[in-house]
Amino acid sequence: MLGALFGLGGIAVAIGMLIEPRIYSKKTIGLQLLALALISGACLIVLANLRSPWALLIILIPALAFGMIQIASNTVINQMATSDKRATILSVEGMALKVAYGVFAVLTGLLLDNYSINVVLMVAALTTIIGSGLCAILLMRFHDKNHIL
């Protein structure tokens, strides 16, 4: 069942990538990212408090949001970066994302060893809401000041 869930998660990411260009708006990109962060965090909180194995399907909503965020972030980088620096920026972004995954994997393992899956899901929810929400708010402020997007 877990393998099927990961497969469905990959499909949800792909669907998110297909949906994002249709709803993308230069003026509201920060607000869209903030909404996706809040929805993903809320889904993880709900998942931490439900006891049914079918509740695992809720994880598809953050996977869908992740696919949308990937496309939105690439669009923002392509618009803000000049062509001579774009490859470097995308490379650094990819490395930062891999480092974040590595750190979060170790933290998840430590929390699972010492606590429960519910604690891990709550930490993931708070990290999503605070981290992604802060990035979205900074993007909105940057957009308002510089009118680049």
For residues 25-53, give the mean pLDDT.
79
Residue type, 53: P
Residue numbers of the domain that contains 49: 2-146
The residue ranking higher by pLDDT, 116 or 64, is 116
Write out the DSSP string of 10-47: HHHHHHHHHHHHHH--TTTHHHHHHHHHHHHHHHHHHH
Rounded CA gap, 5 and 57, in Å?
7
Q: How many domains does the chain have?
A: 1
Which of 24-28, 71-75, 98-102 is predicted most confidently?
98-102
pLDDT band at 129 (very low <50, low <70, confident <90, very high): confident
pLDDT of residue 149: 45
Residue 115: φ, ψ to 5°: -130, -135
Rounded CA gap, 41 and 73, in Å?
19
Tell which residue, 82, 71, 59, has the closest CA to residue 9.
59
Residue type, 18: L
Tell which residue, 45, 40, 94, 34, has the closest CA to residue 63.
40
